[in-house]
Structure 1
Amino acid sequence: MDINMSFSPNMDDEYEKLIRRMNPPRVVIDNEACKNATVIQVDSANRPGILLEVVQVLTDLNLIITKAYISSDGGWFMDVFNVTGQDGNKIMDDEILDYIKKVLGPDSCFTSSLRSVGFKPSDDHTAIELTGSDRPGLLSEVSAVLTHLKCNVVSAEVWTHNTRAAAVMHVTDEETGSAITDPERLTRIKELLCNVLKGSNKSRGAKTMVLHGVTLTTRRLHQMMFADRDYERTYDEGLDEKQRPNVEVVNWYDKDYSVVTIRSKDRPKLLFDTVCTLTDMQYVVFHANIVVEGPEAYQEYYIRHLDGSPVNSDAERERLMHCLEAAIERRVSEGLKLELCTTDRVGLLSDVTRIFRENSLTVTRAEVTTKDGKAVNTFYVQDSSGYPVDSKTIDSIRQTIGQTILHVKGSSKESKPVAQESPTRFLFGGLFRSRSFVNFGLVRSYS
C-alpha cells in the first residue's frame, strides 16, 4: 500500500501551537516588587526568536526598560524586565497591563509570523523600501517624485547613518486612497525613485523595492542598512570616536559562550536595536543582563551561533562589534527636533521637506504618521554645511509653514564618553555557580 504524505507550509506553526498548549507561557506583572518600576516576568517554552518578540511587544508600547534579566538555557525561557512609562513612573494603566498579558500569555496567538520579515497582502497601502547614499535634500527629492506620481505618503520612517540612507514608506493612490496595483505604474515608481537614490554617486548602489503589504518597519530598517553595509567605517563621520558605543566581545571557553558587553548612552528602544541585530545575525542569546544607571546603559549577552559554537575568529569578532555599534547609532537622533501637526493632504511631506531644503537644512531622521485625517510628522534636521542650525532660519521656516503647525522640540546632546572597564568583569558574576535564579524570588531581589 502506498502512503502519500504531504506537508503543509503551516506545519511549523501547528507544532509551535502544540508546544504552547503543552507548556503555556506565564506572565506575571508586579507593581509592588520594585519601588520605581513595574516588574514583568515572562516564562515559556524556549524557541528561536522569542526574546526579540517579547522585547518588541514592550518596545511597541513605548515602555522604558530600565533593567532586564534573561535566561534561556535548555528548553525553558525566562525574562524579567523592570519597565516604566515615558514619564518614568510605574505602569498603572490596566488596559496596557491586560494587553501585555494577552499578547504574551497563554491565551495569545503569538506565533512565528511576528518573526517573519516578509509582507502580507494589503489593500490599504503599498510599501516602498529605499536604500542609497545619503545627501542633503534626498527626502525632499523622494517626496517630490511620489507627489508627481500621484502617491500619498500615509506613513514613513527614514534613517541615515554612515553616509547611507534607508526608508520604509507606505503610500496610497491619490484618487482611490488605497494600495497601488497597476504593474506598469509600480515599475515607473520604482525606476524613478531608484534614479533619485543613485544621484551622481556611482560608487555605492541604490535599491528600491515596491511591495503590497505591511512589515515590522524598524526591524526592516535595521536589516536594510545591515545589507547595505552601513557598519563599514569611513571614519569621516561627525561622531567622535570617544562618543561611540563601547562594544567588546570575548570568548568564555570554559562555557563555550561568547560574551558581548555594550556600554553606551541610554535611550528608548536601545534593547530592541541590539537584540534585533543579534537575532538577524543568527546568534542565540542564552543569558543577558541589562542595567541602566543614570544616562548610561550596560548590556551583557552570552551568545552562541545557531549551531552552538561561539564566535570563531578575530574577523568575526570585529564584524560583530561594528554591526552592534551601527545598530545603536542608527536610531540616534542628531540635530534639532521639529514636530509638525496639521491636517493631512497629498503632497504635504513634499512641501515641508522642500522648505527645509531651500533653507539649507538636511533631514537626518524622520517619522511620518497619519491618523483620522491628521498628520503628525517628526523631523531631526541639521544645517547642510555642518554648522549649528541658526535660530533665525527656524523662525523663518515656522513663519512659512505656520507657527502653530511646526514646533521646535529641542536638540540632541552629545553623549559623554563611557568609562572603560575590563572585558572580563562580567555583570553576571556567579551565575553558573548557582541556578537559584530560576524562580519568582528573583523578581523580589531584582529591584
Structure 2
Amino acid sequence: MSVLRKLSLVEKYLTLAHGYKQSFASQLLDKVHVIGCCGCWSQQKRTLIYQGPQATPKYKVLRETDIYLNEEIKDDDPVVQRLYKGIKKQERGALAEGITLVESTHPKKKAQAQVLLSKVLLYLRERDAHSLHGSFGSSFRIGLSGPPGAGKSTFIEAMGKHLTSEGHRVAVLAVDPSSRTSGGSLLGDKTRMPLLSVDSHAYIRPSPSSGTLGGVTRNTNEAIVLCEGSGYDVILVETVGVGQSEVAVADMVDMFCLLIPPAGGDELQGLKKGIVELADLVVVNKSDGDLLPAARIIQSEYMSALKFIRKRSKNWNPLVLRISSKTKDGIPELWLKMCEFKQVMLAVTEFQKKREDQLKIWMWSSIKDNIMDIFTRHPSVQAQKDELEHLVTSRIMTPGFAADILLKKFMYHGEEDVKHLLETQSKHKQ
C-alpha cells in the first residue's frame, strides 16, 4: 500500500471518528494508528509512520512529559539539546539561534523547532507551578501598534530603559514590513533604539513580516515563548504599524496598547472601530513642546470615543494617557497603569484565561499555515494546477470550481471524483 493511500485511509477514519461518540471513535481509531509524521511533504521525502491494529499506544509520550515529539527528531537531538540548555542559561546567542530556527521553513529545522518549543513550554509550565504569581503570571506580554510616525520605536526604547532600571529583563520583538516584490526587509528597528540595544538586560529581535497580515510575523508566538524561556519577564511586541487592520498582535499578548501621535489628522479617527476597540490602553505620544495642546485635544477626543465602544473586558475600562518618549514624562505612570491592569486581570483569572485562548489561537493559526503549505506542495495538486490555472484564465472554468477540484484531488487523491466534476461542468456549458 502506498504512503499516500495509507494517509487517505487515516484521514477517512479520523473524519468518521470525529462525529461519533467516544466509544465508537476509539474503535475506529484502533484500526489505524498514526504515531508521527516526518514533517516533510516535499516530493523527495514523504514518510508516514504507520502501524496496524496491534499498535499501542495511540500517542507517543517520552519520559512522561506529555510532549508529542516528531518521529524524525529525537528528544536528544544535539541541536535541540544545545539550544535548550543555552536558552535556560539565558544565553543571548542561543536565544537568537532558537528564534532563527523557529523562523526557518526547512522541513528538518521546522521539526527541530517544534521539539525545542515543546521542551521550553514544559520548562515554563514547571517554572510557573512554583511561581508566586501563579500560572502564566511570571511574564507580561504587551503588544504595541499604531500608525507610522507615532514614535513606536522611540517609545519602546524609553519604556525599555525604564523597565531595565527597575530590574526587569525586557525582550523586544519588532516586526518590519517586507517588500512584496523582492521579499526583503530593512530590519532597521534595532538601529532606532541605540541605548536599549546595548543594555545587557534587554534583547531586541527585528523580524520581517514576510507577507503575513496582522502586523506580526508567522512565528511571533514561538519567539515569545523562547524569550520567556530565556528569563525575559516583559515582552514588547511591536507591529509593522500600517493601519487599522494590524490587530493580530492582540491575540498574542496580555495587554494591547495603541500608540497615536497628536494632530494625526481626521478627528473621527477616535470613532473608528477595529483597532481602537481592541486597545486596553490608548497612549498619546509626543506630548511635549508645541504639540502639547494638540495632544490634550486628541486625548479628550479618544476619551469621548471610548465611551461609545464596547469594552473587551467588564473588569477594565480602557484609559487614554499622554506621554513623551523624548522627555520621559508619563513613562513611569504608564507602567504603573500597565501593572494595575495585570493585577486586576490576575485577580479575576481573566489573565490566565487569555493565555489559554492564546494557545488555542496559536494552534489553529498553525493549522491554517501548515495546511496551505502541505496543499501547495501536494503531488496531486502540483500535477493538476497548471491545467486548471489555464482553464480559469481562459474563462472556461470559474476560480471557485477549480478550487473545488484541487481540494478533491488533495483530499481523496483519486481521479474519479475529479473526472465527474469535469463532466458535470461540461454538461452545464452545453
Give the TM bin, normalised by the shorter chain: under 0.3
Larger helix proportion of the pair: 2
Larger Rg: 2
Question: Which structure is higher in RCO with an 8 Å CA cutoff and minimum separation 6?
Answer: 1
Larger strand proportion of the pair: 1
